[in-house]
Amino acid sequence: MPPPMEPTLAAFPNPFLRYFAATRPPFLSVTFAACLIGLATAALDGAVLRPLAAFFTVFFALVAHAGINVLNDYYDALNGTDDANTERQFPFTGGSRFIQNGVLSPRAAGIFGYALLASVVPAGLWLAWSSASGLILIGLAGLFVGWAYSAPPLKFMSRGLGEVAVACGWLIVVVGADYVQRGAFASTPFIAGLPYALHVANVLFINQFPDYRADAATGKRNWVVRLGPRGARWGYPVISAVAYGWLIIAAMRGALPWTALIALAALLPASAATRQLLAHADRPAELVPAIRATIGAAMLHGILLAVGLAAARFLSLH
């Protein structure tokens, strides 16, 4: 399959489609799956789901993720990382290329990204009013992590904290989706959300291998840069092992129903990605199948976990 073409201004004459495509819509699916897990944990513990609140939760979580994607492109344009990236594997690494290819100016991207994040605030306040005030803390934490991932002075992605920030961010999505329905904090969304959040962190982790030289040249001191591709490659199976080990232990201890173990099916693409990364960590062009498999593993885990949790509620197993 030939690689997809990078965006050009001629390909997006319609301004709406231009800005929509700049949010990298296919990659928003990981947030959709996180919301499904949160809704499923609330249902598992007996909450009666409110469809309108669920819809707005999912919609504005996707808007927040879109804003974070655009801001990541904006700050990577400012620090020169995406301009320097000659080994990118588009569309997975090296940014969306909307700024580098002249489809959007850096200023337009920055304004758009911050506007998307700002639009989430009134929706979050309404959801907090309809559920409980703790949602404000969850929302603020999510926006902070999303902003601090790319933006100075914190720039978590450049300090070896990118994977932690990503795991925290998607765990917050699960907890927030649960909280809107439940109206209170509970342990179940944390327990169920952590292995999925680790899968999403692995998506970021593997994407850093093709970007290694560009990141190193522009001062992004992530763990692939710190350890080098050959040394850092072992981090991927470690993160996967923690994710699956957590899920199995949670089910064995009764913190999650046994039906949650259906998510172990994601071991198949995750194992394939592990083998490919271990073999080709320093050959960017060979890593596209592993990146695809990693995204597939995250999505499969998230959707199957949500299905398993919902099935347990239906079967009254929890």
Going by pLDDT thresholds of 50, 70 and 90, the confidence category of residue 317 is low
Please determine, for residue 82, whether its predicted confidence score (pLDDT) is greater than 90.
Answer: yes
Residue-level pLDDT at 4: 77
pLDDT in tens, 264-275: 999 999 999 999
Residue-level pLDDT at 141: 97
Going by pLDDT thresholds of 50, 70 and 90, the confidence category of residue 316 is confident
Q: Is 6 left (phi over 0), alpha (psi -120 to 50) or beta?
A: beta
Interacting residues of 56 by C-beta distance below 8 A, sequence separation 6+: 123, 126, 127
pLDDT in tens, 229-273: 999 999 999 999 999 999 999 999 999 999 999 999 999 999 999
Q: Is-contact 164 156, C-beta < 8 A? A: yes
- Rounded distance between C-alpha atoms, residue 99 and residue 62, angstroms: 22
127's tokens: 């959801």
Classify burial at 254, counting beta carbons within 10 Å of its beta carbon; exposed 0-12, middle 13-18, buried 19 or more: exposed
Candidates 138, 139, 129, 205; CA nearest to 167 is 205
Phi, psi of 209, rounded to the nearest 5 degrees: -70, -50
Going by pLDDT thresholds of 50, 70 and 90, the confidence category of residue 179 is very high
Domain boundaries defined on the chain? 22-315
**DSSP tag of 160:** T
280's tokens: 């080709």
Place of tokens 């399959």: 1
Q: In the CATH scheme, what is the code of domain 22-315?
A: 1.10.600
